[in-house]
Amino acid sequence: MGNIRKTSSFEKMLLIVGLLVLVIGYMLIGKVYVIEGSQLSWGFLQTIFLWLLMVIFIIMLAIGEDIKEGILLQQLEEIKGLKEFMHKQSKKKG
């Protein structure tokens, strides 16, 4: 089984910001839709598109952070393996 890693403070903050953008944006878009009389205008469509882009950007940022953390853990394991190998080699010589 793989190592279980702890979530970083950046990931926690990103989760909170992402949920806030999702919920507040959805509520505001719903209010504007009701105020405009349930009509689709060009500005309303632009607003929805930009909100969806922000949601997608936050998701991509979270995925990128997860990949970065995975790569760092792999590198740490490789460095530990190299350290042990070098330590064993120095014991054989000495």
pLDDT in tens, the chain (94 residues): 566 777 888 888 999 999 999 999 999 998 888 888 888 888 888 989 999 999 999 999 999 988 888 888 889 899 999 999 998 888 887 6
State pTM to two decimals.
0.73
Full residue range of the structural domain in which residue 29 is found: 9-93
Task: Count how many domains the chain has.
Answer: 1
42 domain-assigned: yes
Alpha helices in the chain (DSSP H): 9-35, 42-93
2 domain-assigned: no
82 domain-assigned: yes
15 domain-assigned: yes
1 domain-assigned: no
Contact between 51 and 22 under an 8 Å Cβ cutoff? The reply is: no
46 domain-assigned: yes
Three-class SS state of 7: coil
3 domain-assigned: no
4 domain-assigned: no
